Amino acid sequence: MAVRRRGLLVVALVCLASGCRPAPSSSPPPAPTSTQSPTTTTTTVTTTPTTTTTKAKPTTTTTTAKPAVTGKVVVLDPGHNGGNASHPSEINRLVPAGRGQTKACNTTGTATNGGYPEHAFTWDVTKRVQAILVAHGVKVVLTRSNDTGVGPCVNERAATGNAAHADAVVSIHADGATATSAHGFHVAYSSPPLNAEQGAPSVQLAKDVRDALVHDGYATSTYIGSDGLSKRSDLGGLNLSTRPSVLVECGNMRNATEAAAMTSAGGRQRYAEAIAAGILSYVG
Ligand code: ZN
């Protein structure tokens, strides 16, 4: 765990320095590393101040610490889509949502009071989580390929995770609670579970993501769920999943403090690092 955390910290620092363009996606470990010999890792750490070492390392060094996650498959589901609002008939059509329910194909999502839309937030955070996971050797599949399209519907999003036989499926959202004082994140999972993967594996994934967010200083929700976790029976993407699946509501876009964090690139990077750490803990 300590090694993984340091690896993520390296990513964080490098991202801050580089402006965080998505990392090259083709090089899971073993990555070419010119600065670090596999046999001298501890020597390097003991002879060099840790902070100096982490700031100076190129991104390739982060890939050497995570052999356990190489080849794992993670499906990331960025909530909503940029074209949803202008295609109401497509988005409002009813689709199967599990437990005998039907729900709208998809929704437009919420926005900050300043007009920053949820779909843009979820897309940006998802791309940042993807970059971190790929740098650790994880195979990442997204449920949508851009932020200008329509849908996909919730049942199609679930089908993507199922078809990929994902080791973990994580939907990324932000909430729009009307009370501006409401704040904090929560992680939802299907309950009661409809299959084995919605049971203990999904609960564990939810806890790992919750713990990573708490570790990075995020407050649990003040207005929904308990201790950062929320049992849900009404979310189609979770109901229809046959893989370990959770949905993260990163915070309340109507809360001024959280809206400010979500609107800034640095704030989104912090969310991404915490979510990625939780996913890596689960699949590792
Ligand atoms: Zn949402």
pLDDT at residue number 140: 98
Q: Which residues contact 167 (CB under 8 A, 6 or more apart)?
A: 72, 73, 74, 243, 244, 282, 283
Distance CA 67, CA 224 (A): 37
Residue 89 has pLDDT above 60, yes or no: yes
Which position has the token pair 């670090």?
36
Task: Respond yes or no: is residue 249 known to be catalytic.
Answer: yes
Which of 118, 156, 197, 249 is flagged as catalytic?
249
Q: pLDDT tens digits, residue range 2-54?
A: 344 444 444 333 333 333 333 333 444 344 444 444 433 343 444 344 444 44
Q: Which residues contact 282 (CB under 8 A, 6 or more apart)?
A: 167, 168, 204, 205, 208, 209, 244
Read off the tokens for 93.
């059509």
pLDDT at residue number 65: 52
Q: In a 3-state reduction of DSSP, which class is residue 5?
A: helix
229, 191 in Cβ contact below 8 A? no
pLDDT at residue number 68: 87
What one-letter code names the amino acid at 85?
A: A
CA of 200 to the centre of ligand 1 (A): 24
pLDDT band at 280 (very low <50, low <70, confident <90, very high): very high
Q: Which alpha helices (DSSP H) does the chain contain, by range? A: 2-18, 41-47, 50-56, 88-92, 118-135, 154-163, 200-215, 236-239, 256-263, 265-283
Q: pLDDT tens digits, residue range 101-153?
A: 999 999 999 999 999 999 999 999 999 999 999 999 999 999 999 999 999 99
CA of 171 to the centre of ligand 1 (A): 9
Tell which phi-psi region holds residue 117, choosing left (phi > 0), alpha (psi between -120 and 50) or beta. Answer: beta
Distance CA 106, CA 153 (A): 5
CA of 26 to the centre of ligand 1 (A): 30
- Cα R_g (the chain), whole angstroms: 19
pLDDT at residue number 67: 72
82, 149 in Cβ contact below 8 A? yes
CA of 21 to the centre of ligand 1 (A): 24
CA of 186 to the centre of ligand 1 (A): 12
